């Protein structure tokens, strides 16, 4: 089971990368020069962080389903 602290780190990392990608994408619509390669790299990092978070959440859910019930 993934600890609460680690899950919070993964959520924060996913949010950070999503926000950076969104900000740079919005900036690309403006008059300032932007790089398509940079946008793709930020998107790749965003997707990777989101995938790590999804995998951790799925593992956590699967472990909770397989845990023995506490019938105290």
- Domains in the chain: boundaries: 4-66
Q: The pTM is what?
A: 0.81
Residue 29: predicted pLDDT: 94
Q: Give the integer Cα–Cα distance in Å for 6 and 44.
A: 22
Number of H helices, E strands in the chain: 2, 0
CA dihedral over 7, 11, 13, 14, signed as positive or negative:
positive
Q: Which residues contact 10 (CB under 8 A, 6 or more apart)?
A: 49, 52, 53, 56
Q: Give per-residue pLDDT as tens, 22-63.
A: 999 999 999 989 999 999 999 999 999 999 999 999 998 887
């Amino acid at each position: 089971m993934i600890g609460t602290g680690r899950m919070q780190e993964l959520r924060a990392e996913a949010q950070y990368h999503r926000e950076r990608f969104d900000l740079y994408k919005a900036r690309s619509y403006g008059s300032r020069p932007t790089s398509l390669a940079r946008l793709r790299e930020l998107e790749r990092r965003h997707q990777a962080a989101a995938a790590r978070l999804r995998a951790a959440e799925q593992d956590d859910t699967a472990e909770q389903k397989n845990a023995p019930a506490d019938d105290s």
